[in-house]
């Protein structure tokens, strides 16, 4: 059964919920501040199902900054449409590998909580190694194959991480 995602939800609600969680990745273009609080499952489903790439990409900083949300991923994943499942699978996995790759910087810049657990190992279609950089590159290649989109997924993942790190560095100054 697919997730029942409200089609009329305003993007400002999503942005405000992200800001409430400390994820200042997107700007709210709306003048009004909608105070509706979404449950984590709905927020993850909305991001994974969004037609806008900037909303899908925010899954990476969301999981890195809130690794406790990993527990919500399997249930959300089960109820998503196929294209949203691909998005969630790859962006969650990218967040996990990026967290491993940048662990030292994350520890120095934030209240690093815990490692994201492996959730999609059986769906990754490649053998995991010990090097998060290599795993990230393999993931990006598989993302191209499965999505059918010749996008620089590796650069996309890194972009999300670099924006998160820059934000945290600015906050600490």
3-state helix, strand, coil in the chain (%, to 5): 65, 0, 35
- Report pLDDT digits (tens) over 98-117: 999 999 888 887 766 689 99
Residue range 137-159: mean pLDDT, rounded: 94
In whole angstroms, give the CA distance from residue 126 to residue 109: 32
Q: Which of 16-20, 31-35, 86-90 has the lowest mean pLDDT?
A: 31-35
pLDDT value of residue 10: 79
Mean pLDDT of the chain: 87
CA nearest to 92, candidates 125, 65, 116: 116
pLDDT band for position 170 (cuts 50, 70, 90): confident
């Amino acid at each position: 059964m697919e997730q029942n995602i409200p089609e009329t939800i305003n993007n400002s609600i999503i942005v405000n919920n992200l800001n409430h969680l400390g994820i200042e990745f997107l700007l709210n273009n709306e003048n009004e501040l909608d105070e509706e609080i979404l449950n984590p499952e709905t927020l993850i489903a909305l991001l994974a199902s969004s037609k806008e790439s900037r909303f899908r990409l925010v899954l990476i900083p969301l999981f890195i900054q809130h690794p406790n949300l990993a527990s919500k991923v399997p249930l959300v994943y089960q109820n998503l449409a196929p294209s949203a499942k691909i998005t969630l699978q790859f962006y969650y996995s990218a967040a996990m590998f990026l967290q491993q790759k940048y662990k030292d910087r994350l520890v120095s810049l934030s209240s690093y909580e815990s490692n994201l657990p492996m959730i999609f190992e059986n769906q990754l279609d490649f053998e995991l190694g010990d090097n998060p950089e290599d795993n990230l590159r393999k993931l990006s290649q598989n993302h191209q194959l499965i999505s059918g989109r010749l996008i620089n997924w590796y650069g996309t993942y890194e972009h999300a991480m670099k924006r998160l790190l820059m934000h945290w560095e600015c906050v600490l100054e």
